[in-house]
Amino acid sequence: MRTKLRAMKIAGPLIKGRFIERPNRFITIVEVDGQIVRSHLPDPGRLKELLIPGAELLLRSAPKESDRKTKYSTVMVKQKGQLISLVSTLPNRFVLESLQGGSLPMFKDFQLIRPEIIQGNHRFDFLLNDSNDNQFFLEVKSVTYVENGCAKFPDAVTDRGTRHAKALTELVKKGKGAGILFVCQRSDANRFEPMWERDPSFAHALLNAKGNGVNVWCIATDVSETDMTYKTEIRVNLAPPNEQ
């Protein structure tokens, strides 16, 4: 019997800072203890709704032996009293540990075969076997944008995401199983929609994928300074705005 995984640990310690500006996609300028520092940003997304001047950030110091140009990484932002992870790769590690521990309800009948599987010209995050021992390809997407309780993806155009949705659709047409799991790195989402106005190509590709049998899920998580925990699965609505 698999043991339920209660929480995924987040490496620390984390230190507080105040956001000043973002000169490019991968750098944040942050005030830490009265000093101005450059900090690596692990999420290259738009994030304009989160990275507001004066916003409280949590940073992690780079290892002392590291030869990085930046001495810190910006890993979380606090908004309206809650912490939001800004590490776009964290959901993959979270899903890996959750699959190993059996803590995601929608995958209770699946077996993890391996992470990072190449199929044709595409690399997917996980290969699973379903309850009938059939191959199932799973792609994981990080979500940080929430508006009035609605989680939305993407917050910037994602050609890669569109290609993945189309490739998973083709796999299903060939008899394989496939799914996309959106992991909301915050706790305040109660439903999910694609961000039609920002990337209609991805939204159409996702809607078409779902219509052809690709599973689409979204989960909300509880994030603290020390761990990330599964909170709940939330409702997914892929309908275009004019059909809602």
Residue 171 located in a structural domain: yes
d(CA 60, CA 72): 5
Query: Are 117 and 166 found together in one domain?
Result: yes
Spans of the chain, pLDDT less than 70: 1-6, 244
Distance of CA 222 to the CA centre of its chain: 13
β partners of residue 140: 181
Task: Say how many domains are in the chain.
Answer: 2
As a three-state string, the secondary structure of 3-32 is CCCCCEECCCCEEEEEEEEEEECCEEEEEE
pLDDT of the residue at 197: 95
Q: Which of 68, 85, 102 is the last residue of a domain?
A: 85
Query: Are 124 and 212 found together in one domain?
Result: yes
pLDDT of the residue at 244: 66
Residues 6+ apart with CB under 8 A from 35: none
Rg of the chain over all Cα atoms, to the nearest angstrom: 18
How many CB atoms lie under 10 A from the CB of residue 50? 21
Query: Are 135 and 234 found together in one domain?
Result: yes
pLDDT of the residue at 3: 41
Residue 1 located in a structural domain: no
pTM of the full structure: 0.94
CATH of the domain at 43: 2.40.50.580
Q: What is the pLDDT of residues 83-106, one digit of tens each?
A: 999 999 999 999 999 999 988 999
Residue 137 located in a structural domain: yes
CATH of the domain at 139: 3.40.1350.60
Query: Are 137 and 71 found together in one domain?
Result: no
Supply angle C-alpha 148, 93, 239, rounded to 5. Answer: 35
Query: Are 208 and 227 found together in one domain?
Result: yes
Q: How far is CA 101 from CA 8, 95, 123, 185, in A?
A: 10, 10, 24, 19
Query: Are 115 and 64 found together in one domain?
Result: no
Query: Are 60 and 172 found together in one domain?
Result: no
How many CB atoms lie under 10 A from the CB of residue 66? 10
pLDDT of the residue at 69: 86
pLDDT of the residue at 2: 41
Range of the domain at 44: 9-85
